[in-house]
A and B are shown apart, each in its own frame.
Chain A
Amino acid sequence: MTALLEVSHLVKDFAAHGSLFRKGPVTRAVDDVTFSIETGETFGLVGESGSGKTTTGRCLLRLIEPTSGEVRFRNENVLSMSPRELRRTRRHLQMVFQDPYSSLDPRMRAGASVAEPLVIHRIGNRQARDARVATLFDLVGLPADAAARYPHEFSGGQRQRIGLARALALEPSLLVLDEPVSALDVSVQAQVVNLLLDLQQRLGLTYLFIAHDLRLVRQICSRVAVMYRGRIVELGLAERLFDAPAHGYTRALLTAIPRLDVTGRLDRVEYDDASFERLPLREVAAGHWAAV
């Protein structure tokens, strides 16, 4: 297997507002994060709010500039790219956001939103772009006449399909999916998850799936990294990590998931934040790493 994306020692500091002559205190949102994503896999990045998972995803595409570290996409260093090289690379590396309501321009027809990346990258003429939009709508399961409608005319699930069509316009190889279905009802969520699985098979896509819903991560991810306070505390094959978690925080997270088969109080493991240490990952079993 080959790594499509390699992230090494990624760091992102946010400075709080200070005064003119003194910088404010620095918050390390992403703290020495290292992982790689293999071609064709779905890699899950999980954690609770403030864990740094979303900031990590944005740093990979340089939607936020990381403070230090390395991001290699097809063995090219994304962080040292010129704006021109970066634009070229972003064709292959696209992001899908959580909120289909705010990620689409409300004044733009759905067809124009999906065609916009093609216009920006000066791909095809008007006719070719219209044909491509029609193909994309078909691919994500939207009717052809949807292209002429505005975002508010669609349901949440349909808007997320438009967001996907837009992300797929430039034929990317890696999609960073940031909570792509967490705003959707469970029955609609299942439809969009199935669409993601279908698209992955048909187009040979690789996914970085950022999510807080561990049941969903268990369902679709091949490997999973758990983030806590900006650091990866555990990383491994999904079934291994879910069945035999090695880090105390992972155990707390997994035992807090509501279960259909448990009535009454969950038998939870609690994690004491005071016991957290910034330890390096070590291999606790084949392909299973934990900061213990």
Chain B
Amino acid sequence: MTPPATAPATSQPVHAAAPLLAVEDLTTVFRLADGREAPAVDGVSFTIASGETLGLVGESGSGKSVTALSIVRLVRPPGRIASGRVVIDGRNVFDLDERKMRDIRGRRIGFVFQEPMVALDPVYTIGAQIEETLAVHSLARGAAARRRVVELLDAVRIPRPDERADAYPHQLSGGLRQRAMIALALSAEPALVIADEPTTALDVTVQAEILDLLRDMRRAFNLSLLLITHDLGVVAGMADRVAVMYAGRIVEQAPTAEVLHTPAHPYTRGLLASMPGARPGTRLEAIAGTVPPIGSLPIGCAFAPRCPQRFEACDERPPITSASPGHDVRCFLYSGTSA
């Protein structure tokens, strides 16, 4: 038998089935002091498959947190979702009424934030907050809810979960608070967890424990994870794929190993080179300049003013092209390779 002329269907990537979450051309704008609106998130697209972890990496002001808030429609004025679609379970969340949206938050998408003291209510015990989530989503009440709380706190390895359920957030250490928030995020058994800088405020040994916990929870609950971080080291240990954001746009998206070992975009390369620790005793390779403020972005490539490889083409907005199969980059250096 001769092989077929076209590639067989089995060569499709494993995640080619309908993704759990698809963000399509999302743009979220903020009103500036002078009345103009400027994009904080500018045409962002990515997908997350069931069980997959996507690392969303960027520096402050890159739009990574606004992207997360847009997905669950929690952008507050002066911000506004201007265009795009966010599809989960085949439905565009921007078409849902607020009641259905509340069902998505918690039940389909759980949240873990950087600062548990902000997300956890200081006047209620940890147990009461988890019980409330269980009640809101009609999952358990009364004694059954209490049993579930203790199970969840035990699952996130909080010692003496029965006692800790009655603790207030301020009575726990930073690491235990973050575990409690993970328990809260998992309480309604979401399919996707959005973790926004979940370990940034923690000491390095506690950070390592929380990352181990997120890995275990991901496996135990078959979770998809959108991990938002500024730390490429955290991404290396956690993510299947990485999307790098700069000034509101995704400039590079690829499997983690490719981003770390063969970065394509000059910004990604600069970010990796500026990380300390690689060559002790030497100067760091800093990226010149600073991130332009929202509303003052150049018309073309937003990174061009800081880019060591800029050329005439960069005055225009670069399209997304492929540096290699499955490795997307928004840079004119690659615009000849494919469309």
The chain A residues found within 8 Å of chain B, CB to CB, are 48-49, 155, 157, 185-191, 193-194, 197, 212-216, 218-220, 238-239, 252-253, 256-266, 268, 271
Contacts and interface: CB of A to CB of B under 8 A. Distances in A.
A213 B207 CA distance: 12
A58 B288 CA distance: 33
A283 to B, nearest CB: 23
Residue of B208, B231, B257, B288 most packed against chain A (CB within 10 A): B208
Interface of B: 59-60, 174, 203-208, 211-212, 215, 230-234, 236-237, 256-257, 260, 270-272, 274-288, 290-291
Given A253-B204, A260-B275, A263-B236, 20 more contacts: A49-B174, A188-B59, A188-B290, A194-B283, A194-B286, A213-B276, A214-B277, A219-B278, A219-B280, A219-B281, A219-B282, A220-B281, A256-B204, A256-B207, A257-B204, A258-B231, A263-B257, A264-B237, A265-B212, A271-B205
B274 A218 contact: no
A265 B211 CA distance: 8
27 contacts: A48-B204, A48-B205, A48-B206, A49-B203, A186-B271, A186-B274, A187-B274, A188-B59, A188-B286, A190-B276, A190-B284, A191-B286, A193-B283, A194-B283, A212-B204, A216-B276, A218-B280, A219-B277, A219-B279, A219-B284, A260-B236, A260-B275, A261-B236, A263-B236, A263-B256, A265-B212, A265-B215
Nearest to B283: A194
A260 B280 contact: no
Contacts of A258: 207-208, 211, 231, 233-234, 236-237
B326 to A, nearest CB: 17
Contacts of B286: 187-188, 190-191, 193-194
Nearest to A249: B205
B237 A193 contact: no
Given A187-B287, A258-B231, A238 B280 contact: yes
A257 B231 CA distance: 11
Contacts of B208: 256, 258, 266, 268
B284 A239 contact: no
A222 to B, nearest CB: 8
A57 to B, nearest CB: 18
A186 B60 CA distance: 10
A228 B117 CA distance: 25
Given A197-B283, A257-B204, A263 B230 contact: no
Nearest to B284: A190
A180 B190 CA distance: 40
A82 B257 CA distance: 60
